[in-house]
Structure formats: C-alpha cells, structure tokens
Amino acid sequence: MTRALTILDAQSREIAAALKTLRDAYSPQDESPEDDAFVILETFCAIALRVMRKTNPSKIRDEARTVEIGARMRGASVEFREAR
C-alpha cells in the first residue's frame, strides 16, 4: 500500500501544479464564471484524490484502464503512465 500512496502523492503534486499553471495562465477575476469553473475543478480533484487514497489500488487501475479504453475508442488523446 505504501507504493500506491507514493504514486498518489506524486499525482497529487502533478495535479496541483497543472491546476496552478492553468489558473495562472488564465488569471480569472474573483467570482467570475472562469474562477467558479476553477473552484469546481479544484474541489473535484481534491475530493477524488481523497477517495483514491481510501480505495484499493487494483480498483483504481481497473477504472484507469476503462477510462483509457473509452478515450481511445473516441479517438481522444491519451496520456497513460504505468505505475513505477
């Protein structure tokens, strides 16, 4: 389980950095529709990461594969990283 938490810690930092990059690039004004959208995304990511910490790692891998397959079927760009 330690390895899974280490991977989640790395993903948490990566997600936080990505959200900060986007927020800095768009610089939404407080309480604007864009700011509200960022708040929604940031809150969703925070909740999702907390849920993932309480979930069996094999269930997370299964769901990640399902999302990847769906994206590939739609022809969407996929960035999939194997757990190290």
pLDDT tens-place string over residues 47-84: 999 999 999 989 988 998 999 899 999 998 887 665 54
Nearest Cα to Cα of residue 50 among 2, 83, 3, 11 = 11
Contact (Cβ atoms closer than 8 angstroms) between residue 34 and residue 28: yes
5-31: average pLDDT: 90
Q: 0.85 cut: is pTM over it?
A: no
For residues 5 and 54, is the Cβ–Cβ distance under 8 A?
Answer: no
**pLDDT value for 20:** 94
**pLDDT given at position 84:** 47
Rounded CA gap, 81 and 71, in Å?
Answer: 14
